[in-house]
Structure 1
Amino acid sequence: MAALETLRLVHELGSFTAASERLDVNQSAVSYTIAKLRACFGDPLFVREAGRQVPTERCERLLEQAGTILDLLDDMAEPDTFDPARTEATVTLACNFYERILVIPRIVSALREEAPRLSIRVVNALGDGHLRLLRREADVLIGPFGRPESGFHSRRLYEEKYACLMDPSHPHAGRRLDAETYLSLNHILINYGASWKSAYLHELEAAGHVLRPAITVPSPAGIAAVILGSDLVATVPSRLGQSISEGLAIRDCPFPGAFDISVVWTARNNASAMHTWLRDRIFAACR
């Protein structure tokens, strides 16, 4: 089973060196284990591409089949109780820009208050953060990522909707925006990439409209500086807009696209004492 855990870590981290550091062993020990597995299964398991160990299809199938066994072993090793004051464990939170600005500071503060020696990692979720949960690259996923399918659990933190940011001198800065006016504006579109599309765009398109942006950017980071002094308008989640809108006007969007911010985790961690504590602290911090 130690060999399977080594295989899983190389798969997760994409590096023999990183896996050896996580396991606290020499890199040669990881290389030797992978070599034995390669001989056993008659497959290279990993090939090196662009400086990263990329898994073969056979490796992906092996890990998928071994996942249940590894989960069972994790459950058996998990203590029945958890003492946050003494733990030196590492927890990984997957989220994006919105959550890093609005909720991660509160979550980190709450976790460190009770578990000062806990190590906290924050990683990008992008549009497919649930895959980071399945690959054991994250313990929880925070954001607009409810997962109704089997194998996931989720809990709603709060509801969010969209608002518009514009320069205070914009002709519509002091007016209520209707759909026709909104569509005629010069928009900054935030394209988060992957398969993600913002909820207000779904609502807008369902009403038979098409948004034609003047500018497209990959993130809300630095967007206030682009808007200031211009005729541009950006549509962002309302709470985020209030956080980054210093010096700007903020108006309700006629396509509010209401959505939930949730915490998502896998069935694998559902009964864990440590992960139950982690989720409870997140819910309390974001209430």
Structure 2
Amino acid sequence: MHEVDLRQVDLNLLVTLHALLEERSVTRAAGRLGMSQPAVSRALARLRTLFADALLVDGRNGYILTVRAEEIRPTLRSMLAGISDMLETRPFEPAAATGLVRLLMADLEAAALAPRLLSHLAAEAPALDLDIQPPGTSLFEALQSDAVDAIVGVIGEAPAGIRRRGLYEDGFVTLMRAGHPAAEGKLTLGRYLELGHIVVSITGVGPAPVDVALAGMGRRRRVNVCVPNFLAAVEIAGRSDLIMTLPSSLALTAAGMGRFVTVPPPVDLGRVTMSLAWHARHQDEPRHVWLRRTVVAAAKGVTVTAPDRTTDDAEPPNG
């Protein structure tokens, strides 16, 4: 079978050929294409050379198609329709969408963000369901394999092909049970280091921000318990005198459970950025563009500033 080198073919001629075969008239084809009649006549001459066939020949009432042109016509129509369909930008319609929104995030991050995100989904895409998956040791593999649509969390260096944008900046607070002996008065560095600590290490890799800051001061704390998720840490903190230091938005979510006090840590930990990460292959996909905008909108409602001291024994505003 002879293989045609398409690089040597002006594929625009096929659009002209389609108009000629449909209209069976140079004049009408020119009007349909918005071209001059001489330009279409020159294109027809090139097409006859390309196909080694007259394609259109004189008949009693104008042009008629040759046998070769009749053979080409259905294939050409189908091919051009397929190309047009391929190039068409299909808008995403949230109201008609079904399936899953798959996000990877830690449990307290989900507790802070998911209720707001579900509210947006209920209003805009009521048939979409939310599937939240826990982080593993290889966060970005989930994006690369399309196991999830996006990641929400504190994201450091990312490999090539991963896009991200900040959702909000967050500071740190120290969380302890209500009635904890250290809950009264200012939490000093000395007292902080005397206490036992809980660390949440989702990936199990690298030191916590507190330990990095303390090492810079030549100090260290005792980490009594290291757990892979915040829910376990919160339960331990609620039933012991161990304390934990974590981003304020997550601490306030835990404080909302009604058993905790938050205080400023005696170490300057700076701020972290909660981010949204996704794979570049979905950068321009309409569904994914909508999803990212929706997550960003939901994140705007997340509280990121904790008061100097918060307890859940306080009477709510307006009774």
Coarse TM-score class (shorter-chain normalised): 0.5 to 0.7
> Is contact 2:108-2:231 (8 Å) kept?
no
- Is the 1:199–1:258 contact (alpha carbons within 8 Å) kept by the matching residues of 2? no
Alpha carbons of structure 1 residues 189 and 134: separation in structure 2 relative to 1, 3 Å: same
Number of residues paired by the alignment? 212
Q: Give the residue type in structure 2 aligned to 1:250.
A: T
Q: Which moved more, 1:100-109 or 1:181-190?
A: 181-190
Q: CA RMSD in A?
A: 2.4
Matched with 1:119 is 129
Unaligned 5+ segments in structure 1 are 1-75
Q: d(CA) in 1 for partners of 2:97 and 2:177? A: 48
Query: What's 1:83 paired with?
Result: 93
2:278 to 259, 265, 281: 265
The DSSP-based 3-state class of the residue aligned with 1:172 is: helix
- Equivalent residue runs for 1:128-277 within 5 Å: 128-195=138-205, 197-228=207-238, 230-245=240-255, 246-255=258-267, 256-277=269-290
- What displacement does 1:77 show? 9.2
Contact 1:199 1:257 in 2 (8 A): no
Q: Distance in 2 between matches of 1:227 and 1:272?
A: 43
Q: Structure 2 vs 1, CA of residues 82 and 169 (structure 1 numbering), >3 Å: closer, same or farther? A: closer
Question: After superposition, what is the alpha-carbon deviation per residue over 1:228-279, rounded to whole angstroms, capped at 9, x for unaligned?
Answer: 4643222222222222222322111123352110001111000111100000
Are residues 181 and 217 of structure 1, via their aligned partners in 2, closer, same or farther at CA, if it must alter by over 3 Å? same
Secondary structure at the aligned position of 2:262 is classed as strand
Contact 2:106 2:229 (8 Å CA) reproduced: no
C-alpha distance in 2 between matches for 1:130 and 1:91: 17
- Structure 2: 5+ residue runs without aligned partners? 1-85, 301-319
Residues 175 and 119 (structure 1), Cα distance of their counterparts in 2 relative to 1, 3 Å cut: same
Q: Which moved more, 1:133-142 or 1:223-232?
A: 223-232
Q: Larger relative contact order (C-alpha < 8 A, sep ≥ 6)? A: 1
TM-score by length of 2: 0.60
Could you say which structure has the larger radius of gyration?
A: 2
Cα separation, partners in 2 of 1:178 and 1:78, compared to 1, 3 Å: farther
- Cα distance change of structure 1 residues 219 and 148 upon mapping to structure 2, 3 Å threshold: closer
Change (3 A) 1:195 1:155: same
Tell me if structure 1 keeps the 8 A contact 2:200–2:233: no
Contact kept? 1:203, 1:257, Cα under 8 Å = no
1:52-111 residue CA offsets vs partner (Å, 9 max, x unmatched): xxxxxxxxxxxxxxxxxxxxxxxx699531111112243311111122110022112212
Paired with 2:109 and 2:87, the residues of 1 have a C-alpha distance of 32
Q: Which moved more, 1:108-117 or 1:143-152?
A: 143-152
Give the conservation status (yes or no) of the 8 Å contact 1:142–1:262.
yes
Contact 1:147 1:153 in 2 (8 A): no
- 1:244 partner amino acid: A
CA distance in 2 between counterparts of 1:78 and 1:85 reads 21
Displacement after TM superposition at 1:225 (Å): 4.2
Answer whether contact 2:167 2:296 (CA < 8 A) is retained.
Answer: yes
TM-score under structure 1 length normalisation: 0.66
